Every structure is written in structure tokens, then in C-alpha cells.
């Protein structure tokens, strides 16, 4: 049974990696395209290149995500069922939210899926429920709750500094400089996103390989990273325009200066949070929050609050839906394990 489950996991990683690129690329390019810093085609190509590079760099830079996350001891087939169920849930939720144009977090959906699957596995396997709850969920939950607030606050406050620096300058020069900074931020944000995506999917694959008792499982990682880089880069080339339209046009009315603040704040927080502190930081939550923070710091109403409330609803639903669906799939698969 283990080889079949492992084969299904490897098969499902392909559309999940592609959809992750499609789902996350708007976080880097929506505002630069909206403010005409880059054309849509140029922005998506630049993001694809740097996302691919980020995935390829994730292995030599260190695989933070699965250095602190470890599953409790359970039967190999049960753990593989959890991983398979998590990938099914992640694929379905990401596809659904993309069609709805909602910028949700793949990272938090994946972590919630593993929580739901592991809790379900504890009911069908000989697992201590306290051991399941003792896993490092707290860091992910705190990041989920705090990162949007931190991103919003930083972007809102940095607008004051940006406006002060730009005061008295020629508006055309300010807009040109702001657009140039946004163009640079596309590459920086995409590089950071790729670093996280490489760690995310290699964690899933490595967990499955170890559970299936594949000898020298880590030797598969270089080829896996190259495969994920190609798939994620291909997803980025699509542009993810449904989510991009939400972030760039339906969420706020934003000018190039505030767009620069939003994109550079996203880039900075992504690198500080994911690389310096090794947190599973969500690019989607961070990008949307900085856009709202920068766009709301004006003398007239710019934030479309109804759209903002819809996004917040999907943020709350993401861990609930992913966790519940994975638990159901795990319970459904468990009778087949023997």
C-alpha cells in the first residue's frame, strides 16, 4: 500500500506546485502592474524567473520549515494517508479560492491540513492526542494572527515617511522613482516567495519519502527542487490575474508612491520573517495587508471595505476548511490501509 500512496503523493505534488506559483505570483506583481511600473507580461516573466531562482536557492540556503516540524511516531501507511489527504485538500482549496479571486495562504492551508489529518490519524492509530497537540503549531498560529497586523502597521506608518521625503519634489519624478522601486520589489518578493515554496514542497516530499522508508531520502531533494522550480515558474507565467485583479483593482485605490511603500514593505517583511526568524510567513497575507495599510493612509476613502471583509472571511476559512477536509479524507482512506 505504501508504494501506491507514495506514487499518488508525487503525482499530486505536480498540480499543487503549479497552482502555488499561479496563486502567489499576484502578490508580487499586482500593484506594479496597477501603477504601470511594469507591463503585465514583463512583470509575470520577471516574477517567474525570480521565483524559480528562489526555489533553486532554498536547498543550499537551508530547509527551515522541516527542521522544526516533526510528526509523532505512527504507521507509515497512516502518515502517508495524512500527507495525501493534505495535498488533496490543498489542491481543492487553492483552486477554489483562485477561481474566487481570493489571496489566501498556501502555507497556512498546508499546516492546517497537516493538523487536521494528524488529529484524525490519532483516532484510527495508536497515537497520544497530547503528543499531537504538543507539535509546534503555536508558531504558525501566531504568525497567522500577527503577520497581517504587523504588515498593515508598517505600511501605514511608512507612508508618513515616504510622503515627507517626497514633499516639494516634482510629482513626475516621484512617480518615476516609485515605479522603479516597485519594479525591483517584484524580483525581491518573488525570490523570497520561491525560497519559501521550495522549502514547503520539499518538506512534503521528504516526509512522504521517509514515511515510505525510501533509503537515503534526502538524495532525492536536488532533483525535486529542480522539478518544483520549473512547475512553480510555469505557474507564475500565467500571472494569476483573478487574484491580481482583486489586489490591484478591487481592494484599494492606490498611487505609485503608496504602491512603492506596499511592495517594498512586503519584500522586507518576507525576508525578515522567513529567513531571519524562520517563520512560515504567508506572502498572500503580508501583501494584501501592506496594500491595505499603504492605501488607507490618505485623506480620502480608498479602501473598498466590503472587498476587505470578503478577504478576511477567506483568511479565517482557510485553516478551517483545509483542516476539516484533510481530517475527513484521512478518515475515509484509513479503512483501506489494512
Our CA angle for 212, 69, 118, nearest 5°, is 65
Task: Write down the pLDDT at residue 99.
Answer: 95
> Residues of 273-282 as b/e, b for ≥16 C-beta within 10 angstroms?
bbbeeebbbb
Task: Parse the chain into domains and list their residue ranges.
Answer: 2-337
Nearest Cα to Cα of residue 246 among 99, 148, 101: 101
Task: Write down the pLDDT at residue 139.
Answer: 67
The segments of the chain whose pLDDT lies below 70 read 61-72, 126-140, 273-280, 338
CA distance 82 to 254: 43
Contact 182, 37 (CB under 8 A): yes
DSSP 66: T
Amino acid at each position: 500500500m505504501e508504494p501506491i500512496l507514495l506514487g499518488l503523493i508525487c503525482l499530486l505534488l505536480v498540480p499543487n506546485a503549479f497552482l502555488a506559483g499561479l496563486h502567489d505570483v499576484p502578490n508580487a506583481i499586482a500593484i506594479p502592474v496597477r501603477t504601470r511600473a511594469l507591463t503585465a507580461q514583463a512583470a509575470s516573466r520577471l516574477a517567474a524567473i525570480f521565483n524559480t531562482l528562489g526555489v533553486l536557492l532554498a536547498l543550499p540556503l537551508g530547509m527551515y520549515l522541516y527542521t522544526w516540524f516533526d510528526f509523532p511516531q505512527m504507521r507509515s501507511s497512516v502518515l502517508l494517508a495524512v500527507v495525501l489527504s493534505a495535498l488533496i485538500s490543498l489542491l481543492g482549496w487553492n483552486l477554489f479560492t483562485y477561481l474566487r479571486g481570493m489571496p489566501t495562504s498556501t502555507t497556512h492551508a498546508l499546516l492546517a491540513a497537516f493538523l487536521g489529518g494528524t488529529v484524525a490519524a490519532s483516532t484510527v492509530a495508536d497515537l497520544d492526542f497530547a503528543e499531537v497537540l504538543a507539535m509546534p503549531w503555536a508558531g504558525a498560529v501566531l504568525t497567522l494572527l500577527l503577520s497581517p497586523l504587523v504588515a498593515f502597521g508598517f505600511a501605514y506608518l511608512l507612508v508618513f515617511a515616504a510622503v515627507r521625503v517626497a514633499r516639494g519634489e516634482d510629482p513626475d519624478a516621484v512617480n518615476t522613482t516609485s515605479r522603479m522601486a516597485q519594479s525591483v520589489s517584484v524580483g525581491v518578493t518573488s525570490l523570497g516567495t520561491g525560497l519559501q515554496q521550495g522549502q514547503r514542497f520539499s518538506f512534503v516530499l521528504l516526509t512522504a519519502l521517509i514515511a515510505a522508508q525510501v533509503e537515503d531520502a534526502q538524495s532525492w531533494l536536488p532533483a525535486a527542487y529542480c522539478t518544483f522550480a520549473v512547475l512553480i515558474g510555469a505557474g507564475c507565467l500565467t500571472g494569476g490575474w483573478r487574484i491580481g485583479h482583486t489586489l490591484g483593482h478591487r481592494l484599494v485605490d492606490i498611487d505609485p508612491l503608496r504602491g512603492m511603500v506596499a511592495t517594498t514593505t512586503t519584500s522586507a517583511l518576507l525576508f525578515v520573517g522567513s529567513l531571519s526568524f524562520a517563520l512560515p510567513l504567508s506572502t498572500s497575507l503580508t501583501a494584501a495587508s501592506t496594500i491595505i495599510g499603504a492605501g488607507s493612509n490618505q485623506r480620502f476613502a480608498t479602501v473598498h471595505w466590503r472587498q476587505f471583509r470578503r478577504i478576511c472571511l477567506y483568511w479565517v476559512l482557510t485553516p478551517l476548511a483545509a483542516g476539516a477536509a484533510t481530517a475527513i479524507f484521512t478518515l475515509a482512506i484509513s479503512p483501506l490501509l489494512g
